[in-house]
Structure 1
Amino acid sequence: MKISERLMRAKPSATLAVNAKAQELRAQGKEIVSLAVGEPDFQTPQHVCDAMKKAVDEGFTRYTPVPGIPELRKAVAGYYGNFYGVNAGMDNTIVSNGGKHSLYNLFMALIDPGDEVLIPAPYWVSYPAMVELAEGKPVIVPTSPESGFLAEVKDLEAACTDKTKLLILNTPSNPTGGHYPQAHLDEIANWAKSKGIFIISDEVYDRLVYTPADYSTLSNFWEKNPEDVAIVGALSKSFCMTGWRIGTTLAHPDLVKAMVKIQGQSTSNVNSMAQKAALAAFEGPWTLIDEMKVAFQRRRDLAYEIISSWPGVICPKPDGAFYLFPVLDTFFDEETPDSASMCTKILEEAGVALVPGSAFGDDRCIRFSYALDDEILKKSLEKIGNVLMKK
């Protein structure tokens, strides 16, 4: 048996590898705290759970249309109208099995073999692998902590060639928490349009933006330029529905049809009961988001203060999501020369799981999630500090 070359080139998920190591240590009886988790620690709202139970009780357990039930697709379009004033219809939307599936469908629909895709780094771990699985070529565009890890037009221009087909943007960012102001997003969007480069805007964390920063989106740009951009969203982060697998795409009807074709030949529709739960989430109330934002902003400030106190550390203060991405290479040495070995050392000596920056395209850094209890977060960071500062 021979596994395909395209799959052999794809790298396994680093976050899953970290989790496997943590589970191994737990099995040995060691107490392990995870700051590697990419999901909120709040419960899914009761009205969402009740909608799922009602769907089961009423026998809503059959196949649905591949792109989602009509009322849910309308609710997705309505989301962009309610929050961003965008006029969209049902035919502009498709519901997929999580934001990851939405992105994968887009890459498969848009990339031809050899097409280049600009990916600002640090990037979400799956972007390059997805591009390669679609037989495209990831072109990594480095950014700096001094800029908050936000890409500038000049950086993108320098990486652009006549083979550049797509640009993937992520705001707020996983792994950095960096958030593009609206003017910055618009500048990049206008540049991309002038170059004939399609933008995929990953806005899965769009509701988790902290004051004084304000929300931003490319959905308004999409409304005027529907053939030049697609917007990916999800309920995973904003409604604590990571396991429910509800991803959404706002796109031109022709692109939606292409994604429906791919989804129809791969997964078909999203779980029918989860669609009813998603509809309840979109219909509200949205009070959970306000609760989470208060908690996450408090935890961000707590973690930022501790991490920034470590000597030689550069740590941009993020405006969104629930991650910090400090530069920790000042602590690298012969024994721990990179982010992966440093994460292993911290896991073994402090009992805290983290994700190495190499997984996100910047080996100087390590990703910290602050989506857990304040006191546990504080104690975990203190343990990490003790390991780093140990002579």
Structure 2
Amino acid sequence: MPSLSKRTQNFTDSVIRRMTRISLKYDAINLSQGFPDFDPPHKLMDSLADTAHKGPHQYAVTWGAQNFREALAKKQEHFMGRKIDANKEIVVTCGSTEAMMAAMISVADPGDKVVVFSPFYENYAADAILSSAEPIYVSLHAPDFHFSIGELEAAFQQRPKALILCNPSNPTGKVFGYDELKIIADMAVKYDVFVITDEVYEHIVYKPYKHIYMSSLPGMYERTISCSSLSKTYSITGWRLGYIIAPPEIIERAKKVHDFLTVGAAAPLQQAAVAGLEMDDVYYADLLALYSRKRDIFLNGLEALNIRYTKPQGAYYVMVDISEFGYADDLEFCEVLARDVGVGAVPGSSFFHDDINDFIRFHFAKSEKVLTGALERLGTMRKKIKKRSR
């Protein structure tokens, strides 16, 4: 038999989704895979019910239905602060996962280098491999997950084709401030590098922090490929509606890549989602208030249990320090946590390029009842998990 592809031989399954299966196996509260356990807005559900009877049920235009792109352009113009051409600057994708993949394939040739901050969302390394690009990892240093200017410049001096920026960050919850973004932007201009942004948590940023779009910085519109989705903003992770916003010449290339990757996102879901895109600012304020309450409940609970964590500035994840337990393998720790304590988490090593096993990631996109139940179980963690010496 012929051999399978070398580029995929070192792939594992998604550790995040593996932890969901482990949580189900042990009937653990699943704080691993980051999806809400509550319904989308009623306007979206009513729109979906209406669309089920009225359609459309056939292909939309491959790069996105016209009314969806127009509604998305209007919504993002409001938040990004610049005019967006719905016909020339948007590609609608099957979730932000495909958006990031299409962006990578559009800019990277085999052998090109791509800068990735570590810790990173696990898909980014896979995106680089599938694009036949070589990742250059730049550490975000705990506990506040800052980057070293010197380390970042050393990465840029290797002449990468692009840098991937997740802001707000999954898994750390870090929100990159203007000064940090300006450093990245200045280096991107200096070394002539694209910046591919993953901004799916753009509306979940806790006060006093603010989300700043990389494309808004001087000299960055031309070289920024903004990727995002509706999944987290409207609690519709299963709808798989994402998008790329970029200058026309980049979008023309991304359209072709997207067309041959997936043809197009689901037409009826695009139709139904227009109702969400047309909601006013009150919705986004309420969304932030909702997640702010959840964050306070969960973090206050961790504080009361004397569990060390890094306070997230955005998104709905929290990195917890498990070094006190002495486990050399954080995946094993997470399996024990699910089995013996009844709470599912993601081992931090799945996000780090370096061999770091001192963190696990929880998410708090759950009902208050579920979060309270998870905290009660975590209160037994030190009794049920025996500490080890490394």
Equivalent-residue separation in structure 2 for 1:7 and 1:239 (angstroms): 33
Equivalent-residue separation in structure 2 for 1:179 and 1:323 (angstroms): 12
Give 1:103 shift. Answer: 0.3
Counterpart for residue 278 of structure 2:
283
User: Are the equivalent residues in 2 in contact too, given 1:239–1:289 (CA < 8 A)?
Assistant: no
Asked whether 1:127 is paired with 2:95, we answer no
Give 1:281 shift. Answer: 1.3
Counterpart for residue 380 of structure 2:
386
Give 1:309 shift. Answer: 5.3
Matched length: 380
TM-score (norm 2): 0.91
User: Are the equivalent residues in 2 in contact too, given 1:99–1:233 (CA < 8 A)?
Assistant: yes
Where does 1:297-336 land on structure 2 (aligned, <5 Å)? Answer: 297-308=292-303, 314-332=308-326, 336=327
Counterpart for residue 369 of structure 1:
363
Q: Among the aligned pairs, what percent are the same residue?
A: 28
User: Are the equivalent residues in 2 in contact too, given 1:230–1:249 (CA < 8 A)?
Assistant: yes
Structure 1 gap ranges (5+): 26-30
Structure 2 gap ranges (5+): none
Give 1:310 shift. Answer: 5.5
User: Are the equivalent residues in 1 in contact too, given 2:14–2:122 (CA < 8 A)?
Assistant: yes
**Structure 1 residues 153 and 198: CA distance shift in structure 2, 3 A:** farther
Counterpart for residue 187 of structure 1:
183
Counterpart for residue 173 of structure 1:
169
Give 1:269 shift. Answer: 1.4
Where does 1:222-301 land on structure 2 (aligned, <5 Å)? Answer: 224-285=219-280, 287-301=282-296
Counterpart for residue 344 of structure 2:
353
Counterpart for residue 136 of structure 1:
133
Residue 154 of structure 1 aligns with an amino acid whose one-letter code is G
Give 1:286 shift. Answer: 5.3
More moved, 65-74 vs 283-292: 283-292
TM-score (norm 1): 0.91
Equivalent-residue separation in structure 1 for 2:85 and 2:46 (angstroms): 27
Give 1:168 shift. Answer: 0.6
C-alpha offsets along residues 293-345 of structure 1, whole Å, 9 cap, x if unaligned? 2232122223223334556x65221111111012222222xxx3221111111
User: Are the equivalent residues in 1 in contact too, given 2:32–2:344 (CA < 8 A)?
Assistant: yes
**Structure 1 residues 314 and 303: CA distance shift in structure 2, 3 A:** same
Asked whether 1:44 is paired with 2:40, we answer yes
Asked whether 1:32 is paired with 2:28, we answer yes
User: Are the equivalent residues in 2 in contact too, given 1:111–1:136 (CA < 8 A)?
Assistant: yes
Picking from 104, 107, 125, the partner of 1:110 is 107
Counterpart for residue 209 of structure 2:
213
Residue 276 of structure 2 aligns with an amino acid whose one-letter code is A
C-alpha offsets along residues 221-255 of structure 1, whole Å, 9 cap, x if unaligned? 38x54331111111100101101111011112121
Give 1:193 shift. Answer: 1.3
User: Are the equivalent residues in 1 in contact too, given 2:106–2:257 (CA < 8 A)?
Assistant: yes
**Aligned-CA RMSD value:** 2.0
Equivalent-residue separation in structure 1 for 2:58 and 2:217 (angstroms): 37
User: Are the equivalent residues in 1 in contact too, given 2:19–2:33 (CA < 8 A)?
Assistant: no
Counterpart for residue 10 of structure 1:
11
Residue 317 of structure 1 aligns with an amino acid whose one-letter code is K
User: Are the equivalent residues in 2 in contact too, given 1:109–1:255 (CA < 8 A)?
Assistant: yes
Residue 218 of structure 1 aligns with an amino acid whose one-letter code is M
Equivalent-residue separation in structure 1 for 2:382 and 2:142 (angstroms): 20
Equivalent-residue separation in structure 2 for 1:227 and 1:9 (angstroms): 35
C-alpha offsets along residues 70-112 of structure 1, whole Å, 9 cap, x if unaligned? 2222222222321131122121111000010100111111111
Equivalent-residue separation in structure 1 for 2:342 and 2:225 (angstroms): 41
C-alpha offsets along residues 115-151 of structure 1, whole Å, 9 cap, x if unaligned? 11111111111100111011111122111123x2133
More moved, 337-346 vs 300-309: 300-309
User: Are the equivalent residues in 2 in contact too, given 1:41–1:371 (CA < 8 A)?
Assistant: yes
Give 1:389 shift. Answer: 5.3
**Structure 1 residues 121 and 388: CA distance shift in structure 2, 3 A:** farther
